[in-house]
Amino acid sequence: MQSEEKRRHPRLDSLLLVAYTVYEENGTMVSRGMGRTLNLSESGILFETQLPIEAGQIIEMNMGVREDIIQVRGKAVYSRKGDGDTVEAGIEFEAMDEDRKEILRRFLKESVK
C-alpha cells in the first residue's frame, strides 16, 4: 500500500549549516545550537542536531545558503531519534520574508538540475 504524499513542496536532499534558537510556544527560550539540514523545501526542512527538540516548539534559524544567510522561523512538527546521539526534527516554516524565499527558491531550482 502506497502512502499519500502530504507535503506541499518536493524535498531536496541537502546539507546546509544552521544556527538556531528553540522557544516554547509561550516564547520562553529553551536552547541554542548548531545543526544541519538533511533535506529542505520551500515550506520546511528535516533538521539534524544533538540537542533535543520537541514537537510544537518554535525554531528561529539562520541557514547558510551559498553566500547568503536565510533567516527563518518555523515550528517543529515532529522529532525522532537520529543516528547515534542525534535528533531529527521536521520543521515547517512559518515566517520568511520574500527576499529570503526567493533565495531559497533559486537554490532549490538550481540544485535539481
What structural domains does the chain harbor? 12-111 (2.40.10.220)
Task: Please report which residue ranges of 42-111 form alpha helices under DSSP H.
Answer: 98-111
Q: What is the pLDDT of residue 107?
A: 85
Element (H, E) at 8: none
Contact 21, 31 (CB under 8 A): yes
Q: With 0.85 as the threshold, say if the pTM is over it.
A: no
pLDDT per residue rounded down to tens, the chain (113 residues):
343 445 455 565 777 899 999 999 899 999 999 999 999 988 899 999 999 899 999 999 999 888 888 899 999 999 999 889 999 999 999 978 888 888 888 888 887 75
Q: What is the pLDDT of residue 8?
A: 59
Q: What is the pLDDT of residue 106?
A: 87
